[in-house]
Amino acid sequence: MVDFFIGLFLASLITALFTTRLYRLLMWYSFNSFTLGVLALLIGMKLQDNAMLITGIATILIKAVGIPYFLKSFSQKFHFVRQITPEIKVQYAIMLIPAILVFTFYLAEPITNMIANNSNYVAISISSLFLSLLLMMEHKNVAPKIIGFLSMENSLFLLGITATDGMPMLVELGIFFDLLMAIIVINLLFHREEMKNA
Amino acid sequence: MLELLFLPALIIFGLSFIKSRKTHKPLAFISFFILIPTAELLRLPKPFHLLGDYLVVDDLNAYVLFVSSIVGIGVALALMTLDKHVEVSKNAYRRFYRFFAIFWVGLIFSILSNHMGIYWIGLELATLSTVYMIKTNHSNAAHKEAWNYMIVGAIAISLILFGIILIYASAKPILGEDAMNFNLLLAHAKEIKSPFLFEIGFAVVSVGMFVKMGFFPMNLWLANIERASFYPVAALFSGILESAVIIGFFRFSKIAMEVNYDHLFTFVFIYTVLTIFIVSFLIFRTKDFMRLFSLSGVEHMALIALFWVSGGTFAALLHFGAHAFLKPALFLSTGVLESNGKYRIAGALRGYKGKKGTLFWFLVSLFLLAVISLPPSPMFFSEIYGFGAMINVAKHGYHLLAMMAAILILLILLSIIFYKFIEVYQSMKYEGEVHSKKVYASELFSLVIFAFALIALIMPPVMNYLKGIL
């Protein structure tokens, strides 16, 4: 079951890389976060780790529901460009993405050898990190760059739950708090009201 | 004690919601209250557990916090007259204070944390709050740079988190959840079963921190941001945010020294020398104050990191203190210098009349000459001690000649920077036309505080305190 959701996590991120519409990208980010939340719940149940169960639920509520909702409302409020064509052409992306995956598995081999549990998941989370960076790089618009940053955070969360069997609860909650702060700052960055007042 | 530390920031945060211009004055004076708990922390026996094992005060972070508090006070004083030099809306001004308070809270957590996770959370909070402070300037350049900072800063901070996860994974088998604890990690560093994993984690953390400090290859991003934003933001960056980043580097590198010193030294040595090499030529080509001081800040941070890994703890901390006072002082001066002639270096120091004006140009001259390590600047002493530490490291190996050659190259690079600063100073003082210019009392007061703080750094009791930090 965990393998299935890890696969979905990676697949949703790859699909997001090819998406040309903003709302669809938000939907893929939401799905990506949902699979992450479910993964945290599954691994948490397996390890009988209550802290991970709580962070799993928080991930679903905040990242899969809350953040996409806020970003969608920002896009309506500030009239974002909804056609977001990636700068990297599809035919090149098709070659680049598997290359990143293979490269990451090769690169992460020494690390995965040292991690007792879920070693393949660690390689997947590192490759997700690179794919998220690619998502940030391949778009000129700000909104997909934000999604890339949030996906990067998802990849790090996945690395946290797979490589270390969960980070301390305090750290996880702190990261959620910082994410919410990031959303507030993003909102203010889009705000042009003061520009008119100045 | 913890409440006292956060109280000034919380009061500033609360007062920033009041829609009156009269609140600026009390806000600046409230910032002075931070000196009470920070001075008390310097005095208390160490280690002092402020919040269990999460926030622990030792000699190192008590010093960094005290230095940062003085910078915070200086910036708060200079903020009083921000609207006299630049165009800023009422809302943006109040929000600036609000985010300044959040920034302060994040940094207190970061500096005092004995926990990798809390350190990261504090740093992220401070990073996010600076994004809005950059945007307070309503120019298109500032808007673009705020986004730039948001994205590059987020990548840098994500790299730090990535590294922390790897370090945590390497130490969790022996320490469990306590593997996040800096002191415990340091005590058990030699027992880590996967040193390779730790070293990868450390390298990733360091690269994240180096990006945040503008090291190679990201030398210009910070300079561009500081150029585009209002001058207090640049002062906060160089005087406080970089302090929080470098204290993290100190903590992580101390553990890395125990794991494999040779790897750590080689990695940091190559990275910092490369950074100084590039930055010195960038400084040589610079044509405005902000970029000049910003790039000089990158050079200083690289030297601090190099001295620290060479075992020159005292040199690194002295250099750090001098940098933390000099750079904000220069950035705040830039706000005054530029408000009467944008980007014009020639004659920038001319035309300041009366007692206030004379004191202003005298202090700016003092800071400019101190930043290029002219004796008796603290930077002169720190560089002497730092290069001495580098030679001591080489003595224990077989690379003495190589190290001396590296020091020679560094000195040549530093002399390029020296030449540029002298050229700029001469142009500011002896070239250009004379126009009547004004400096406000609060700005002058903040510069006087920085000048006294610099003098205090070379006083024997302070030097002895710094020598006692291991």
Tens-place pLDDT, residues A73-129: 888 887 878 888 888 888 888 889 899 988 888 888 877 777 766 777 888 888 998
Average pLDDT value for residue range B219-237: 86
Mutate which of B102, B109, B162, B259 to test chain A, going by most A C-beta atoms within 10 A?
B162
State whether A170 and B117 contact (CB < 8 Å): yes
| Tens digit of each residue's pLDDT (9 = 90 or more) over B7-43 | 888 888 888 888 776 777 777 788 888 888 999 998 8
CB B242 within 8 A of CB B293: no
| pLDDT band of B343, cuts 50, 70, 90 | low
Report the share of chain B in percent with pLDDT over 70.
99
Within 8 A of A149 by CB-CB distance, chain B residues are 150-151, 154-155, 158
Is pLDDT above 90 for B277?
A: yes
pLDDT, averaged across chain A:
84
- What is the model's pLDDT at position A197? 43
DSSP H helical ranges for A67-141? 67-77, 90-107, 109-114, 119-137
Going by the DSSP 8-state scheme, the letter that residue B459 receives in this structure is: S
Name the domain count of chain A. Answer: 1
Q: Supply the pLDDT for residue A196.
A: 45
d(CA B186, CA B191): 10
- The tally of domains found in chain B comes to 1
- At B229, list the tokens: 């934003």
CB-CB neighbours of B441 under 10 Å: 11
Determine, for residues B132 and A177 on separate chains, whether the beta-carbon distance falls below 8 Å: no
* ipTM score of complex: 0.86
Q: Determine which helix (DSSP H) or strand (DSSP E) holds A14, and give its type and residue range.
A: helix A2-18
CA distance B43 to B60: 13
B269 part of contact set with chain A, CB < 8 Å? no
Mean pLDDT for B299-311 is 93
Cα distance between residue B103 and residue A181, in whole Å: 12
Question: pLDDT by residue (tens digit) across B438-458?
Answer: 888 888 999 999 999 999 999
Cβ-based contacts of A156 with chain B (< 8 Å)? 158, 161-162, 165
| HEC profile of A111-130 | HHHHCCCCHHHHHHHHHHHH
Average pLDDT estimate for B303-307: 94
Which residues span the domain enclosing B103? 2-467
Task: Determine the distance in angstroms separating the CA of B210 from the nearest CA of chain A, rounded to an integer.
Answer: 18
Burial class (CB in 10 A: 0-12, 13-18, 19+), B287: exposed
Test A181 with B125 for CB contact under 8 angstroms. Answer: yes
Residue B379 phi, psi (nearest 5): -70, -30
The stretch A3-31 carries a mean pLDDT of 90
Four-point Cα dihedral B354, B360, B366, B372, nearest 10:
-140
pLDDT tier, A195 (very low <50, low <70, confident <90, very high otherwise): very low
Three-state DSSP class for B311? coil
Question: So what's the pLDDT on residue A194?
Answer: 44
Minimum mean pLDDT among B107-121, B236-250, B392-406: which range? B392-406
CB atoms within 10 A of CB B307: 27
CB A175 within 8 A of CB B121: yes
State which residues form the domain around A188: 2-197
Interchain proximity A189–B135, CB inside 8 Å: yes
Instruction: Decide: B69 and B34 in contact? Cβ < 8 Å.
Output: yes
pLDDT winner (highest mean) among A164-173, B126-135, B278-287, B434-443? B278-287
> Which chain A residues touch B117 with a CB distance below 8 Å?
167-168, 170-171, 174
Cβ atoms of A37 and A60 within 8 Å: the answer is: yes
Question: Which residues does chain A have within 8 Å of residue B87's beta carbon, measured at their own beta carbons?
Answer: 198
**Stretch A151-162: mean pLDDT, rounded?**
87
- The answer to whether B436 contacts chain A (CB < 8 Å) is no
pLDDT digit string (tens) for B111-140? 999 999 899 989 988 888 888 888 888 888
> What count of other Cβ atoms lies within 10 Å of the Cβ of residue B451?
19
Q: Is B194 on the interface with A (CB under 8 A)?
A: yes
What are the residues whose beta carbons fall under 8 Å from the beta carbon of B45, sequence distance 6 or more? Answer: none
Let me know: does A88 contact A136? Beta carbons within 8 Å: no
Nearest CA to CA, how far is B188 from chain A (Å)? 18
